[in-house]
Amino acid sequence: MKAGCYSNRELSWLKFNGRVLEEAEDSTVPLAERLTFASIFQSNLDEFFMVRVGSLHDQMLYSPNLCENKTGMNPQQQIAAILDESRELCSRKDRVYFDLMAQMQELCGVELINFAKLSEEEAAYLEVYFNTEIRPLISPQVVGKRQPFPFLKNKEIYAIVELEAKSSEKIGIVPCNNGLFDRLIQLKTDPNRFMLVEELILHFAPQIFDHYKIKSKSLLRVVRNADLETEEESVFDEFQTEEKTDYREAMVELIKRRKKLCAVRAELSRAMNEEVVKKLCEHLDLPREQVFYTEAPLDLSFVFQIQDYLKTRPEFFYEKRVPQKSAMIRDEMPVMEQIAKKDILLCYPYESIQPFLRLLVEAAEDPEVVSVKMTLYRVAKYSKVVEALIKAAENGKEVVVLVELRARFDEENNIEWSRRLEEAGCRIIYGLDGLKVHSKLCLITRKTKKKIQYITQIGTGNYNEKTSTLYTDFSLMTASTDIGLEALMVFNALSMGQICEPETKHLMVAPNGLRQGLLKLMDEEIAVAKKGGHGYIGVKLNSLTDKVLIGKLIEASQAGVKIDMVIRGMCCLNPGIKGYTDNITVVSIVGRFLEHARIYMFGTGERQKLYISSADFMTRNMVHRIEVAVCVEADPLRRRIAQMFKLMMADNVKGRLMRPDGTYVRRQVRKKEINSQELFYAQAYEQAEKEQRERQEKEAKEAKKAGKDTAAHKAVKTGKKEALPHKAATKGARQGEKKK
C-alpha cells in the first residue's frame, strides 16, 4: 500500500484545530463569535495535550520503539512534530487574538488593558482594588530549601517571579485563580475597560515580595496529562485487594489521581532567565522543548464575560437560531402513538429534542409501560432525561440505566447522576471490563392485553439537551419489533456482562459486529463496481483513523467505487492519489454548529442501504467500545438523510476540501453560496411556518363552522399571520451568511 495514502493521526487533528482557528480569522464571521472560536481553539489544544500528548508521553516511557501503524512514527518523533506544529498554530492564535481585540476596541469601545495604558487615576484605583480585594486572599510562596516547590494545578494560572536573595536565587509563586475573586476586573472610571486579575497580581509582585529584588517575572500555566486508560485496571485491582469492589468508588479514586499526573506543557507569558526556566522544568519534570511562550492571555475563557457586555449589540453575534418543532410530530397526539404509526427522525439542532423528552415522560406515566432501558454517556448538568428516568422508577417501572463513568471529563457529573438514579430505584450498570459503552440507545417496553410493544430510539449524539442545540445529530424513534428485539439483545448482554453476538440484522453492534458489517457492505460495493456497475460509499464522521477500514476504502477506490466523505476532524486517509484514492473526495465542515452525526451509505437508488450510528471509523470505536448503528428503513427518512448528505458534500462556505498532501482548502464559490448548516435551519423554519399556516387555516375552518371569530379566523380573513418569533432568523437563514 502506498505510504502517501496515510496521514498521522495527531498531525491530522492539529490540522482540524487549525480549521477552527480559521473561523476566528474569518472576517465574514461576526466579531464576538470569532473570539469564541479563538477560545475553542485554545481549549481544544489543552485537551489534545492532556489526552493525546499525555498518551504519547506514557508510550515514550514504556514503549519508546512502538511505531504508529500508518506513518511509522515512534512516540518521540510524533511529540516533536506536534510541538513544531503547535508552536506555529499558537503564533497564529496570538496574532488573531490581538487583531480581534483591536477591532473590539475600535468598533465596540471594549478594551483589555495593561498598566502601560492606564491614567494616573486608573492606576490609583487598581492599586486600592489590589490591596483591598486581592491581596488579603492570595497565598504567595517562596521556593527554597525549607519551602518545597508547590503542586501546580492543571490549567490554573500562577505569577512566577525570579527573586534575588543574599545567598542564592529563589523563585516566588502566587496562585492567580483561587475562585475567591473575579478574573475580569472592570475599571470604575470606564466600564468598557478591563484588566485580567493575573496581570494585576503580577504587576504588584514587588509589593508581595517586598523583601526581595525581582529580576524577572511572568505568568505560568501548566497543562497536565489526563490519559488514565493505562491506569484503570491497576486501580480497580488495587481497590479489590483492599476489599473495595465498588466500581464507582474506584472511578472517584481515578479522578483524584488524574489531577496529579505529570505536566505535558507549560506556557509563559514573558521571557525569563533561562536558568529559572530550567529550574521550573526540573520541578515540573517537563522537557524544556515543551515550554511555550504566549503573547495572548494564557486562558481565553474570559472572552465569554466580555461578550456578556455586548449582548445589546446583535451585529457582533450570529443571528439567533432556535430549534424548531419537527414536522413529523403532532402536539395533540401522544408521541408513542405517533411512533407506532411511522418511524420518526429528529435532526438536531435544527429540530427540537422536545419530542424525545415527551416520549420519556409519557413512558414514565403510561401504565402499560413496564420498562425503560437506556445508555447514558454524557448528559446535561441539569438533565431532564435523568429526571424522566427517575420519575419512571418512582412510578414503578423497571428502569435499567447503563451509566458510562469513563466518559472523559464528564466522570464526576456521571458519578453524581448514577447516585441519584440509584437512590430513585433505578438499576445501574457500568458496562464491561475494558469496553466503554458509547452507544446512544433507549428501549421502552409496553405490555398491552394484545401484545408486547417496543419503542426504540437510536441516536448519533448524547442525551444532552444543551448540546442538542449546538451539535448536529440524528435521533431515530421506531416501533419496529425487529429493531426492538435486537436492542433488547444488546441490553441483556450488557446486563450480564457479555458482548452482544454479531447476529443482528437491523443493528450493527461493536465490537463484534460493526467493523465486520461495514467491511461486508464495502465488499458488496466493490463487487458491483468490478462488474461495471455504479458502486458508491458515502460516510459522515467525526474521525477516520482505523487502518482496517481505511485499507478497505482504498481497495474500493481502486475498484472504481465512488466514495464521498464528510469528516469534521481527523482523517488519516489522503484522497486523490492516482491509482489508490483518486475516487475518494473528503470534505470537512467547521462552522457555527459542531458536526457530530454519523452516516453510513452504501449503494444508490433502490439498493441503497443507509445507517446512522454513534461510531466513528476509529479503532477504539470498532474494537474497544459498545457502539450501535441502525439501518434506516423508512424511505422518506432515508431520502431526507441522503439529501442532507449531498448538500453537505456541496458546502462551499464552511466546507473545506482535503488535498492529496493532507492539507485543506476552501472551495471557490462559482454560482451561489452553499452553507449547509444555514440552509438546514432555513428549511426547519420554513417548515415551521408552513405548519403554523396550516394550523391557522384549520382553526379558522373550525371556527367558521362554529360561528366563532377566533384570532386564527381573523388572521385568515385579514390575510395577516400571527407573529412568528423566528421570522428574522428565517430571512437570515435564507440569505446565508452575509459578509459583515
Cβ atoms of residues 542 and 567 within 8 Å: yes
User: What is the sign of the dihedral through the CA atoms of 693, 696, 702 and 708?
Assistant: negative
Backbone angles phi, psi at 352, to 5 degrees: -75, 150
Judging by beta carbons within 10 Å of its beta carbon (0-12, 13-18, 19+), is residue 717 exposed, middle or buried?
exposed
297: helix, strand or coil? coil
Q: Is the peptide bond preceding residue 511 cis, with omega within 30 degrees of 0?
A: yes
Residues in CB range of 698: below 8 A, 6 or more apart:
none
Q: Which of 57, 438, 506, 596 is catalytic?
A: 438
Cβ atoms of residues 552 and 562 within 8 Å: no
- Interior CA angle at 94 toward 92 and 99, to 5°? 95
**Which amino acid belongs to residue 37?**
F
- What whole-number distance in Å separates Cα of residue 264 and Cα of residue 267? 11
Cβ atoms of residues 507 and 483 within 8 Å: yes
Q: On the CB side of 325, how many CA atoms lie within 13 Å of its CA?
A: 11
- What whole-number distance in Å separates Cα of residue 203 and Cα of residue 197? 10
- What whole-number distance in Å separates Cα of residue 476 and Cα of residue 678? 22
Residues in CB range of 63: below 8 A, 6 or more apart:
75
Residues in CB range of 574: below 8 A, 6 or more apart:
4, 5, 6, 7, 581, 658, 660, 661, 662
Does residue 726 carry a catalytic annotation? no
Beta strands in 377-432 (DSSP E): 398-403, 427-429
Measured CA distances, 376 to 243, 410, 429, 457, 621 (Å): 28, 11, 10, 13, 16
Cβ atoms of residues 82 and 10 within 8 Å: yes
Q: Which residues are catalytic?
A: 438
